[in-house]
Chains A and B, each alone.
Chain A
């Protein structure tokens, strides 16, 4: 029997992306976010998650799309990246999808260049395409992009 994966689906613009449910701690409505000077552009700032200060990355800006018109549906996924909590701002997130191994295909060649290799696979689910992303790459690329200001 094919293994079944539980995926949290979220939308950015018109695309649906997915993350394994084990990496997602919780989904919250966007709280007040405090900007941090000199942080990379896609870093929205920091937020207060029950007394913890958690950095927030705007995934929409990360993937080059602008925010959706309907702000009420915006959510923050609190995810776990190498035991650091990070918030990801997405247009909306609501569904948990059960996808079997067989439905997942390796990323198409168009994605294979260096800047887009955060895609780990593409799943076909009820006629939709769901892009599975590698969380670590998303956050780490940010680190690479952080310019060494004070050499």
Chain B
């Protein structure tokens, strides 16, 4: 066939995989919602809708196996066969996994995995349902005559609570009419029976009876009363809402209370008592107004904005020169005005262009409810996940890059952090552990915290293990600070788990966390309290494209660093610098800071007129240190451009930028500079290349 048709098919497939991801996420979310509350009719409805969509889409793309399986799942999910509510979430969640695996296979153009395990699960459930089917389904219609409705409305107007009660008659009840009279009597005691349907004369043949009752009891109490053993098999109760918009046959929004064996979502289309499931709203709200755009097009736009910012600083320099040369020229003011206007618009343009790439962190957080549930189940633990700050916006690339380290951190928190229910009880804590995910903006950084209220990390155990693994010598271990000890967790090949579990504990996870944080020019830190829990904090630069930077010179070379990592700038003479334990330190405002020199590239110069140097006090994650520089140049807005990875890649530099005069300036990666130049801790593996150390030492 024509290549054009092929192309269209490929495009269609791509579209399918994209939307399938969203559908599967929704399936997971709703499955979990259903697990929490099996009577959640909205979730059940959403699940059916999702599976149905998936079935249709898969069929359209020629993915027969997926489509067929989805069809079977859809069948299993119909309200008619849904008598056994307990196993439903399990089926939904395994279906989500199965569909995911199949999509991955289709994407890689492999044979999809067999759906038989899922089919077995569905079949098992169908068997169970078949047994309970004998009871018959309870499908209240609540179709009252106009007269009945009037009576009910009037009763409600008198301040009574009006309920519509549907009772399914036990199929093996020998004398139906007599049995139902009993029920009617119970109800008459509870309030005023306003209407009965069907009429008493037809009770012998009816499968269920409906009453309208006015009274002051609540639904639970009524449901309990109505459940007469041997007579009534199921009860469904809805509160009658005497709304004006109540027209013929309208499903009434009401509260449903059901007997434990019944499934609650049969009739209710909406729950007024429980607010609509919050996880549902984003899906519905997003559907209308989003536009899918190729990420590459957006990057192009951002690049162009970046070029404009460079152009702006070029213009600015030219204007300055103009002002110097023709200080009296009237054109000067006009030019400045035009410049000011242009940079204002440019700033707005830059902000909105950046915003395009921003997505709420909720997209990432939502994935974890499933993970926490699975890991907790496997470890026999009871863990709740609490999310906060989901609205925090994050660059999409950042969000994608964060998924993997977050998975490791969350897994670890459940698997190692949270204790078993028995241990927790013994420690006087509630049996259910809590994992908290929190996101917020701080300055130009985004902070993501993963905390648990588990057992905490035992720093002595960490040290012992590091020494045991030969990662550092004993005498060094005894001198390490608490923060440094915790840093060991991120070393490659380190794991504190006593036994390697199926989920985590091979000691590679934390290593990944740190390397990803570094790659994103951010940092990660730990705070732990034995017995109280652990918090991991990831700090990442908010936008990767344009920053405000401080420019300075070291050995005649120009460097820049993000302004937000600068705390203060101070001056120091040689006499202020002390040597402690092989480090150079300086005292600034009652704080002793480790000093860092970049002068390995050229010998240090103390030959300023007054023999003093500038010390930039820098905040890198939890640590502070001082960077010695020769000269401060100023502050400027910089567009970060990547450096060629293969030839000049270095972790010390997070990128480069072009100044207004065409010079290239390197932007230092503060965290890496701090790590490499200030630390002599830890094993040889992380000691930076010998040259630096020796030259720093020689200068010291």
B-binding residues in A (CB < 8 A): 31-39, 43, 45-48, 51-55, 57, 84, 86, 139, 142-143, 146-147, 149-151
Contact = CB atoms under 8 A, between A and B. Distances in A.
Nearest to B651: A150
A37 B652 contact: yes
A48 B658 contact: yes
B685 to A, nearest CB: 5
Contacts of A139: 646-647
A37 B664 contact: no
A104 B314 CA distance: 49
B656 interface: yes
Nearest to A139: B647
Contacts of B404: none
Contacts of B647: 39, 43, 55, 57, 84, 86, 139, 142-143
Contact of A53 (B650, B656, B686, B689): B656
Contacts of A143: 646-647
Contact of A43 (B492, B601, B648): B648
Top 4 closest pairs, chain A to chain B, by CB: A38-B650, A34-B664, A55-B647, A55-B644
28 contacts: A31-B662, A33-B664, A34-B656, A34-B663, A34-B664, A34-B666, A36-B666, A37-B600, A37-B653, A38-B650, A38-B651, A38-B652, A39-B647, A43-B647, A46-B644, A46-B656, A46-B666, A48-B658, A48-B664, A51-B307, A51-B310, A51-B658, A54-B644, A55-B643, A84-B647, A142-B647, A147-B689, A151-B685
B650 A39 contact: yes
A31 B653 CA distance: 21
Nearest to B665: A34
A84 B662 contact: no
B557 interface: yes
B643 A46 contact: yes
Contacts of B642: 53
Contacts of B648: 36, 39, 43, 45-46, 55
A20 B641 CA distance: 30
Given A51-B310, A84-B646, 7 more contacts: A34-B557, A34-B558, A38-B651, A43-B648, A52-B641, A147-B689, A151-B686
B598 interface: yes
A84 B643 CA distance: 11
B656 A149 contact: no
B650 A36 contact: yes
Contacts of A43: 647-648
Interface in B336-362: none
B473 interface: no
B603 interface: no
Given A51-B310, A86-B644, A149-B651, A35 B601 contact: yes
Nearest to B664: A34
B174 interface: no
Interface in B629-668: 641-644, 646-653, 656, 658, 662-666
Contacts of A32: 662-664
B697 interface: no
Nearest to B558: A34
A32 B688 CA distance: 29
B503 to A, nearest CB: 27
Contacts of B601: 35, 37
Nearest to A147: B689
Nearest to A32: B663
Contacts of B600: 37
A24 to B, nearest CB: 17
A139 B649 CA distance: 13
Contacts of B310: 51
A47 to B, nearest CB: 6
A147 B690 CA distance: 11
Contacts of A52: 641
Contacts of B656: 34, 46, 53
A61 to B, nearest CB: 14
B252 to A, nearest CB: 66
A38 B650 CA distance: 6
Nearest to A143: B646
Given A43-B647, A48-B658, A143-B647, A53 B653 contact: no
The listed residue with most B CB atoms (<10 A of its CB), out of A32, A35, A86, is A35
B557 A53 contact: no
A54 B664 CA distance: 10
A134 to B, nearest CB: 16
A84 B652 contact: no
A36 B688 contact: no
Contacts of A86: 644, 647
B305 to A, nearest CB: 13
A149 B307 contact: no
Nearest to B310: A51
A149 to B, nearest CB: 5
A151 B515 CA distance: 11
A27 to B, nearest CB: 19
Contact of A84 (B558, B644, B651): B644
A33 B666 CA distance: 11
B643 A48 contact: no
The listed residue with most B CB atoms (<10 A of its CB), out of A34, A37, A47, A142, is A37
Nearest to B307: A51
Contact of B662 (A38, A48, A54, A146): A48
B694 to A, nearest CB: 15
A149 B688 contact: yes
Contacts of B665: 34
A70 to B, nearest CB: 25
A141 B93 CA distance: 51
Nearest to B692: A38
Interface in B535-551: none
A47 B685 CA distance: 33
A147 B307 CA distance: 34
Contacts of A142: 647
Contacts of A46: 643-644, 648, 656, 664, 666
A52 B601 CA distance: 25
A142 B649 CA distance: 11
Contacts of B666: 34, 36-37, 46
Interface in B474-498: 492
A45 B598 CA distance: 17
Nearest to B657: A53
Contacts of B664: 32-34, 45-48, 53
A37 B696 CA distance: 14
A142 B558 CA distance: 25
Contacts of B685: 151
Contacts of A150: 651, 686, 688
Contact of B641 (A38, A39, A53, A84): A53
A35 B555 CA distance: 12
Nearest to B644: A55
The listed residue with most B CB atoms (<10 A of its CB), out of A33, A54, A146, A149, is A149
Contacts of B688: 149-150
Contacts of B558: 34
Contacts of B653: 36-37
